[in-house]
């Protein structure tokens, strides 16, 4: 069920603020252990795609760090990529990211590959978020970059979309808006939540 847009956005903003504060309050040791456990879970979801193209993200605001997952994926033979925001209103690009490639600050100060890096089409996108529910709906940061990029794609063209978060970021229900694109799974340090059982590989 979708919510009134203004009410949904206000509720999303409140949940976003609360969950970002909660994860930023985690001590470094706990956050590191969570990242290691989450990486192990994620590899169980990605195993069928582990030699393909996987898009990760550069963490901000206390996000679950994908570095342990990146290490495992590289060892498995995956090609990694990172998103690049071209403008605030256009779909993102995904650029190849090799371990030795330098990263520079891009849109919003988030580190990204050089714009001249090869553009790729990922088979799997590991999606950052501020809050999620078990239906696969997420709260991002209010800019709509992932929905704008992946939403227009037909279901069979869409990459496998995996939310990546601390367990404490779960909420009972994310207010859903018409443009929201559900995740296929959410991975936390505690478990794999399979939200879209019809997708191959889940």
CA torsion 121→188→198→73, rounded to 10°?
A: 40
The residue among 41, 8, 28, 14 whose CA lies nearest residue 167 is 41
Residue entry with tokens 């996987």: 54
pLDDT digit string, tens, across residues 61-104: 999 999 999 999 999 999 999 999 988 888 899 999 998 888 98
Residue entry with tokens 């069920």: 1
pLDDT digit string, tens, across residues 132-191: 999 999 999 877 788 888 877 766 788 999 999 999 999 999 998 777 888 999 999 999
At the topology level, CATH places domain 5-194 in Rossmann fold (3.40.50)
The pLDDT of residue 3 is: 56
The pLDDT of residue 107 is: 84
C-alpha 43/C-alpha 94 separation (Å) is 21
C-alpha 101/C-alpha 113 separation (Å) is 7
Res. 1: pLDDT tops 90: no
- Parse the chain into domains and list their residue ranges: 5-194
């Amino acid at each position: 069920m979708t919510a009134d847009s203004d009410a949904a956005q206000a509720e999303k903003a409140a949940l976003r603020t609360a969950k970002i504060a909660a994860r930023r309050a985690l001590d470094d040791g706990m956050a590191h252990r969570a990242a290691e456990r989450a990486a192990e879970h994620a590899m169980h979801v990605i195993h069928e795609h582990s030699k393909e193209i996987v898009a990760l993200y550069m963490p901000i605001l206390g996000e679950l760090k994908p570095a342990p997952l990146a290490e495992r994926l590289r060892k498995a033979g995956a090609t990694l990529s990172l998103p690049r925001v071209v403008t605030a209103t256009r779909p993102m690009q995904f650029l190849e990211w090799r371990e030795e490639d330098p990263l520079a600050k891009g849109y919003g100060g988030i580190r990204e590959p050089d714009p001249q890096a090869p553009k790729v089409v990922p088979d799997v996108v590991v999606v950052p978020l501020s809050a999620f529910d078990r239906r696969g709906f997420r709260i991002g940061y209010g800019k709509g970059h992932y929905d704008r990029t992946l939403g227009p794609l037909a279901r069979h063209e869409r990459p496998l979309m995996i939310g990546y978060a601390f367990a404490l970021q779960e909420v009972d229900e994310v207010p859903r808006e018409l443009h929201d694109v559900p995740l296929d799974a959410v991975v936390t340090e505690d478990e794999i939540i399979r939200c879209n059982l019809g997708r191959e590989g889940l």
